[in-house]
Chain A
Amino acid sequence: MNKITKQILDKVPKNAKVLDLGCGDGSLLSTLIKEKNCSGYGIDLNHDCIIDCTKKGISAFQSDMESGLDGFSDQFFDVVILSQTLQQVNKPLDLIKNMLRISKQAIVTFPNFAHWTIRFSLLFGDIPKSKALPYEWYDTPNIRVISIQSFREMCKKNKINIVEELSIYERGILNFCLAPLAPNFFCHRGMFLIEKK
Chain B
Amino acid sequence: MSQASLIYNLSDPLELESGSKLNHVDISYETYGTLNKTKSNAILICHALSADAHVAQHPENKTKGWWDDLVGNGKAIDTKKYFVICSNTIGSCRGSTGPMSINKSTKKPYGLKLPVITIGDMVSAQEALLNHLNIETLFAVVGGSMGGMQALEWSIRFPSKVKRCIAIATTAKLSPQSLAFGAVGRNAITSDPEWHKGDYYAKEAPQKGLAIARMIGHITYLSEQGMLDKFGRNLQEKTDFGYDFSSDFQIESYLKYQGDKFMTFFDANAYLYLSRAMSYFDLEKKYKSLNKAFKKSESKFLILSISSDWLYPSKQSKEIVKSLMTLSKDVTYAEIDSPFGHDGFLLECKKIGKVVKPFLGN
Q: Which residues of A pack against B, CB within 8 Å?
A: 17, 39, 41, 47, 50-51, 53-55, 57, 59-63, 70-73, 76
Interface-centre pick from B325, B330, B358, B359 (highest chain A CB count, 10 A): B325
A-binding segment of B174-182, B233-241, B251-259, B331-339: B331-339
Please state if B322 and A70 are interface contacts (CB–CB under 8 Å): yes
Interface string of B325-362 (1 = CB under 8 A from A): 11010111111110000000000000000110011011
Please state if B358 and A72 are interface contacts (CB–CB under 8 Å): no
Give the residues in chain A near B321, CB-CB below 8 Å. 61
Given A50-B333, A54-B302, output 19 extra A-B contacts at Cβ < 8 Å. A41-B325, A47-B335, A50-B332, A51-B355, A51-B358, A53-B332, A54-B332, A54-B334, A54-B359, A55-B358, A59-B332, A61-B321, A61-B331, A62-B333, A62-B335, A70-B322, A71-B322, A71-B323, A71-B325
For the complex, give the distance between the alpha carbons of A147 and B349 in Å: 46
Q: Is B296 an interface residue (CB 8 A)?
A: no
Please state if B318 and A73 are interface contacts (CB–CB under 8 Å): no
Give the residues in chain A near B331, CB-CB below 8 Å. 41, 59, 61
**Out of B323, B330, B335, B336, which one reaches A59, CB within 8 Å?**
B330
Q: Label chain A's interface by main secondary structure.
A: mixed
Q: How many residues of B contact A (CB 8 A)?
A: 22
Please state if B334 and A62 are interface contacts (CB–CB under 8 Å): yes
Give the residues in chain B near A39, CB-CB below 8 Å. 328
Closest B residue to A71 by CB, please name it.
Answer: B322
Interface string of B59-88 (1 = CB under 8 A from A): 000000000000000000000000000000
Closest A residue to B318 by CB, please name it.
Answer: A63
A–B pairs, 13, beta carbons within 8 Å: A54-B302, A54-B332, A54-B362, A60-B333, A61-B325, A61-B332, A62-B334, A62-B335, A63-B318, A63-B333, A71-B326, A73-B326, A76-B326
For the complex, give the distance between the alpha carbons of A47 and B314 in Å: 14
A17: shortest Cβ distance to chain B, in Å?
A: 7
A79: shortest Cβ distance to chain B, in Å?
A: 15
Closest A residue to B361 by CB, please name it.
Answer: A55
Interface-centre pick from A50, A53, A60 (highest chain B CB count, 10 A): A50
A34: shortest Cβ distance to chain B, in Å?
A: 15
Give the residues in chain A near B302, CB-CB below 8 Å. 54
Closest B residue to A72 by CB, please name it.
Answer: B326
For the complex, give the distance between the alpha carbons of A63 and B317 in Å: 12
Interface-centre pick from A17, A51, A57, A59 (highest chain B CB count, 10 A): A59
Interface-centre pick from A39, A47, A60, A70 (highest chain B CB count, 10 A): A47
Give the residues in chain B near A71, CB-CB below 8 Å. 322-323, 325-326
For the complex, give the distance between the alpha carbons of A50 and B299 in Å: 19
For the complex, give the distance between the alpha carbons of A72 and B336 in Å: 24
Please state if A57 and B362 are interface contacts (CB–CB under 8 Å): yes
Give the residues in chain B near A57, CB-CB below 8 Å. 362
